[in-house]
Structure 1
Amino acid sequence: MRWPFRIAMSTTAVMLFDQAVFAGQFLAGTFGALHTHRANATYSGIAVLVAAAAAVPLRWPGRGPLWPVLACLGLFGLIALQIVLGFQRLLTVHVPLGVAIIGLAAGLAVWSWRPDRVAA
């Protein structure tokens, strides 16, 4: 049951990490990276929704926790807020929120690869 979630969440985490790379490229003078940063933000939002859908079978019928679904939906909300802040150029909030989003996505990806616990 975990493989679809593992793949989706790991892909999402890599895409979100790439956001920092694209922002850094833009700040270093590669102005086309801003377009890539913007497009990847949209795709990252879609990827986290795919991860949320992949987390549903962990709960039903997998009888696992519900929180990964809710965490992915919360992460989607943060990404949506992040996109709005980026377009408004509120970098004092955009940058630290981006760091938090990357950390949360990485945490979910790491959790997805932890071994299943078997009930005794």
Structure 2
Amino acid sequence: MNGIIWTLRLSATGHLAGVLLQAALAGMFVTGDVGMLAWHRNNAGVTHALLYVQSVAAVLLWRPGRGPSWPAWASGALVAAETAQVALGQSRVIAAHIPLGMAIFGVSALLTVWTWRTPSQAARAGRAES
């Protein structure tokens, strides 16, 4: 169980860092550094891959781990939102791309804070039920 919690913590933290870097790279791109668009695109791939690791860890914490289900559902919602985010970005629908990015950041931040505050309690509750 401890390995699942640490995997969730580290992948959520890495994902959040990637999401924050996305905003910084986008800011540099829109202010004239055109080369940052490639970095923005590449960072999106790494960030999305970390989200898949986070999603698997959240499901494992929930199902076999008997932890709460909402981190798995939130991670799934983030997968859907980031998939839409990629489509919006590639289509240059910036009016939707930027606010969705802000929402992704907010959910990612809440989930990451939770991973560092309470999964140990969820793990203890799971062991107590066994």
Stretches of 4+ moved more than 4 A in 1?
Answer: none
Query: For 1:88-99, what aligned pairs fall within 5 Å after superposition?
Result: 88-99=91-102
2:73: which partner in 1? Answer: 70
User: Match for 1:15 among 1, 18, 36?
Assistant: 18
Task: Output the aligned Cα RMSD.
Answer: 1.5
Unaligned runs of 5+ in 2: none
Percent identical: 40
What is the CA distance between 1:55 and its match in structure 2? 1.4
Query: For 1:40-79, what aligned pairs fall within 5 Å after superposition?
Result: 40-79=43-82
What is the CA distance between 1:43 and its match in structure 2? 1.7
Residue type at the aligned position of 2:105: I
Q: Which moved more, 1:12-21 or 1:28-37?
A: 28-37
Residue type at the aligned position of 2:96: V
Counterpart CA distance in 2 for 1:4 and 1:69 is 13
What's the CA shift string for 1:56-97, capped at 9, x where partnerless? 221233210122112111101100000100111111111011
| Matched positions, count | 120
Counterpart CA distance in 2 for 1:58 and 1:42 is 25
Counterpart CA distance in 1 for 2:63 and 2:104 is 26
TM-score by length of 2: 0.85
2:112: which partner in 1? Answer: 109
2:103 corresponds to 1:100: yes
